[in-house]
Structure 1
Amino acid sequence: MPSDQNTSIPTNDPVGTAFAQFQKGKIQEAESLLQSVLTDEPNHPDALYGLGVIYFETERFADSAQYLARLDASQPGSKDLLLRLANAYALADQPSEAVDTYKKLLIIAPDIPNIHFNLGIMLSDLHRWEEASSAFEIAVEQEPGSSEPLLNLADTYDRQARFEEAITVWQRAIALADKAAQDPALHVLIGKRLRLVDRFEESVNFFERALDIIPDDTEVIFEQHRSMILNKDLSGAHSCLEKMEALNPSYEHLAPAWAAVQLGLGKAEDALATCENHLQQYPHDITMLSTRPFILNDLGS
C-alpha cells in the first residue's frame, strides 16, 4: 500500500477552523465549512487541499483524489500535493491515474522514497509488466536489503516468461533470510520455474526446501517426484510415491505416477497391472490412457 506521510493542513481561517473541528472528530462540520468556502470560491486552494486531506485521512480516497486533482489543475507543481494525489489514486483503485501522477512526481522529485516501488505496483495492476520491471529495478537499487521490491521484480520477470531472471531475483530475496526464506509457496514456485528451464536437480532441491517447512504436503511431494523423473532419479521418484501413498492412498495422480516410475525402472508388467487396475475404476483417466500405449510398446504387445 502506498505510504503518505504529509498530514499537515493549512491553518488559515476558515480552513484552520475546519481542521480544528476535524481534529475533534467533527468530520461533517469540517467538511461543511470547507464546502461553503468552495461554494463562494470553487478553486480556493486551502479548501480544496483541506477536503483532500480530510477525505484521505478518513479513507474516502476517490473523493480525496477528486479535490486534490482540482487543486493540481489550478496550481500544479507541488511535490507534496502530487505525492498525496498519487497515493489517493492508488488507494482508490485508479491505477492509470496513479501511474500518470507518480511519473509527474518523479520529474520534479526523483529521489522520494518508495515512489518507484509504488509506481511498479500500479503498473503491475495494469499488467504493464515491462514498465513495472523497470520501476522495481530502481526500487531494488534504492532498498537492496528489502525482499519486497525483489519479490515484486521477480514476479514481473515471471509474467514476461523471463524465468532465469526471475529465479535469480527470487534467490536474492531468499538469501536475505527474512519471511521469504520461510515461504514454502515461494520455494515451490522456484522449483517449478527451474523445471521449465531444465534445471531439474536444482528444482528437486527447492521442493525439498518446501518440504522442510510443510513435510506432509502431497502436492509438493508430487511436484518433487516429477522433477526427479526428469532428472532421471527413478529411485528418488519411487521414494516420493511411497511417501505419497502413505499420506494419501487415494491421491488422484498416484496410480499414473506409479505406472510411469515402474515403467522407467524396467518393471513393465507391474506398470501394466497398475494401469489396468486404475482404468477399471477410472476408465476415462486421460493421463493413464496416454501412458498405457508406452507400457504395451515396452512389453512388445
Structure 2
Amino acid sequence: MGIRDWIGSQEASSAAPYCQKGESQLAREKFDAAIQNFNRGIELDRSHVGCWIGMGRAFLGLEKYDRADDCFVRALEIIPDNPEALAMRASVLRLIALQNQDPMRCLEAVELCNKTLKISPDSSPALHEKGMALWTLGKRDEAMLLFDQAKKIDSNYQYPWDLKGRYLFEKRQFHEAIDAYEEAIQKKPQDPDLLFQQGRALMKIGGYHSAINFFKKCLKIRPDFPSAWLLLGNSYKVLHQYDDAIEAYEEAMERDPGSTKYRKHIADVYLVKGKEALYKDGEPQASIEYFDQTLRMIPNHITAWFSKGVAYKKLGAYRNATACFLRVVETDPQNGHAYYEMAQILEKTHNVEESIRCYIETVRCDPSHTDAMYKLGNLLMESGDYKNAIAYFDRVLDKKPDSSVTWFAKGKALQRRGQQKDAERCFERAGKLAIR
C-alpha cells in the first residue's frame, strides 16, 4: 500500500472521528480522555495507526512509558517505516533508559532514528530524537550538531534552548549560555528550572542583581527549591546584603533539614560581618558578637576563634584572647599564626618562658616565619641563652641577609657572649645596611 493509499484508508476508517477527538484532547493535555477516544477508535479499526500513535503519545504524557512503547510497537507492526511512530518510539525508549538507568535503550533509540533518517534525511523529529538520545548518553557535542541541523532544515523546529544553555554553561561560555536560556525562557517563562539556570549563569559573569531577580521568580513558582535559596543567599552575600543572605540560607535549611551545608553558609556570613566590624569599622566588641554567632552554628570554626582572639587582643582582654587562640591550636596544632599571637601576648604580659615556647611552636609550624625567629632570638638573648639566640638570628639572616636589625641583634648576643670582634663585624654590617 502506497503512502497516499494509506492516508486515504485512515481518513475513511470508522476510527477517524475518534482519532480526531483524541488529538484535540491531546492538544489540551487531557490525556485520560484522549486515551478513551483512541481506544474506542482501535476497537472499531485495530489497524488505525493514527490511533495507536495518539494513544502512545497520551500514555507518554501520563509518563506511562511502557504502555506508550507498546502502542508505538503496534503502530510499527502495521506500518514498519512510519516515520512518526519511529521517532516517537525513539523518544519513549530514551525516557525508559533514563528511568531504568539502561543505556542500551538509548542505543536502540539511536538505531530507530538512523532508520528514519535513511528514509527521510531531513526529518527534524528524527534528528531531534537522535540528538536527545546522544545527549542522554553524554555525547553532548554530537547532540548539539544534530539540534543545529534540525534548526536549519525546519524553521518551526522547537530548538532545545535549555540544553544549549547547559551545554554552553558546561563549556564556561557564560554569556552565550545566558542568551540560550533567554530564548528558552521566552517559550517557558514559568519554568523554575530555566529561571534557576539563568540566575546561576548570571552569577558567573558578576550579574548578581539580575541573578537575584531570576532566583526570586523561580522561588515564587517553586518555593521548596533549596538550591535556588542557596544561590540567592550567595548573591546577596557578594553584594554585602548580609541579612538578606542569612534569611535565604535559613529558608534553604528549613526546606532541606538533612543537610549541614547551609549552617556553614550562615556561619560564614556572620564571620564576614565580624571581620568587617573588626578590621573595617574598628569595632572589636561588635565583632565578637558576630563571631559568637558563627561559633553557635559551628563550634569548632577555627577562623572565628582566631578572629575573636584578635578582637579580644585589640580590647586588651589578653586572657580571653589567649583562650581563643588556645581553642585554635587544640583544633589545629599546626596553626602557626595562633601560636604567634599567643607568643606576642605572653611576651607583652612578661610571661617569658611561655612566650618562648609559643614562638618555638610558631617556627615549628612555619619554618619561614622570620618575625617569630627574630623575637625568639631576642627573648633567648635576654634570658642569657646566647648560643640559641645567635642560632635563631642566623636563621633569619639566611632568609633576609639585608636585615640590619637582625645583624645588630646578633652583634649584641655575640658581645654578651664575649666574642667582641665577631660582634663588631655584625655592628659594622648593620650600620652599612642601615644607611643604604
TM, length-normalised to structure 1: 0.69
Aligned counterparts, 1:42-53, within 5 A: 42-53=121-132
Measured in 1, the distance between the counterparts of 2:158 and 2:235 equals 28
Q: Which moved more, 1:48-57 or 1:24-33?
A: 24-33
Aligned to 1:170: 246
Q: Is the 8 A contact 1:15 1:33 kept in 2?
A: no
Amino acid at match of 1:253: H
Measured after TM superposition, the shift of residue 278 of structure 1 is 1.4
RMSD of equivalent CA atoms: 4.3
Q: Which moved more, 1:234-243 or 1:91-100?
A: 91-100
Aligned to 1:209: 296
Aligned to 2:5: none
Measured in 1, the distance between the counterparts of 2:167 and 2:139 equals 9
Mark the CA change 1:181 to 1:42 in structure 2 (over 3 Å): closer, same or farther. Answer: closer
Flag the structure with larger Rg: 2
Q: Is the 8 A contact 1:195 1:227 kept in 2?
A: no
Task: From 325, 329, 333, give the equivalent of 1:241.
Answer: 325
Amino acid at match of 1:112: D
Measured in 1, the distance between the counterparts of 2:357 and 2:370 equals 13
Please say if 1:256 is aligned against 2:340: yes
Measured in 1, the distance between the counterparts of 2:219 and 2:358 equals 54
Measured in 1, the distance between the counterparts of 2:269 and 2:153 equals 50
Please say if 1:61 is aligned against 2:130: no
Q: Is the 8 A contact 1:56 1:88 kept in 2?
A: no
Mark the CA change 1:17 to 1:181 in structure 2 (over 3 Å): closer, same or farther. Answer: closer
Aligned to 1:278: 359
Please say if 1:124 is aligned against 2:203: yes
Measured after TM superposition, the shift of residue 102 of structure 1 is 1.2
Aligned to 1:182: 260
* Structure 1 gap segments, 5+ residues each: 296-301
After superposition, give the CA deviation of every residue in 1:198-233 in whole Å (9 maximum; x if it has no partner). 151342123312434xx4x64553244345446776
Aligned to 1:16: 85
* Structure 2 gap segments, 5+ residues each: 1-59, 73-80, 97-103, 278-285, 380-436
Aligned to 2:182: 103
Measured in 1, the distance between the counterparts of 2:134 and 2:337 equals 53
Measured in 2, the distance between the counterparts of 1:171 and 1:230 equals 31
Q: Is the 8 A contact 1:241 1:254 kept in 2?
A: yes
After superposition, give the CA deviation of every residue in 1:212-255 in whole Å (9 maximum; x if it has no partner). 4xx4x645532443454467765432322233454555532232
Measured in 2, the distance between the counterparts of 1:77 and 1:235 equals 75
Mark the CA change 1:106 to 1:19 in structure 2 (over 3 Å): closer, same or farther. Answer: closer
Q: Which has the higher contact order (CA 8 A, sep 6+)?
A: 1
Measured in 2, the distance between the counterparts of 1:32 and 1:89 equals 27
After superposition, give the CA deviation of every residue in 1:113-164 in whole Å (9 maximum; x if it has no partner). 22211112223345554543443343344444544223212323444xx22x
Measured in 1, the distance between the counterparts of 2:375 and 2:208 equals 39
TM, length-normalised to structure 2: 0.51
Measured after TM superposition, the shift of residue 75 of structure 1 is 4.1
Aligned to 2:15: none
Measured in 1, the distance between the counterparts of 2:122 and 2:374 equals 71
Aligned to 2:6: none
Measured after TM superposition, the shift of residue 103 of structure 1 is 0.2
| Bigger helix fraction | 2
Q: Is the 8 A contact 2:294 2:304 kept in 1?
A: yes
Q: Is the 8 A contact 2:271 2:304 kept in 1?
A: no
Measured after TM superposition, the shift of residue 169 of structure 1 is 1.5
Q: Is the 8 A contact 1:260 1:271 kept in 2?
A: no
Q: Is the 8 A contact 1:120 1:135 kept in 2?
A: yes
Mark the CA change 1:76 to 1:259 in structure 2 (over 3 Å): closer, same or farther. Answer: farther
Measured after TM superposition, the shift of residue 46 of structure 1 is 1.2
Amino acid at match of 1:242: L
Q: Which moved more, 1:248-257 or 1:175-184?
A: 175-184
Measured in 1, the distance between the counterparts of 2:298 and 2:118 equals 64
Please say if 1:269 is aligned against 2:350: yes
Measured after TM superposition, the shift of residue 188 of structure 1 is 4.0
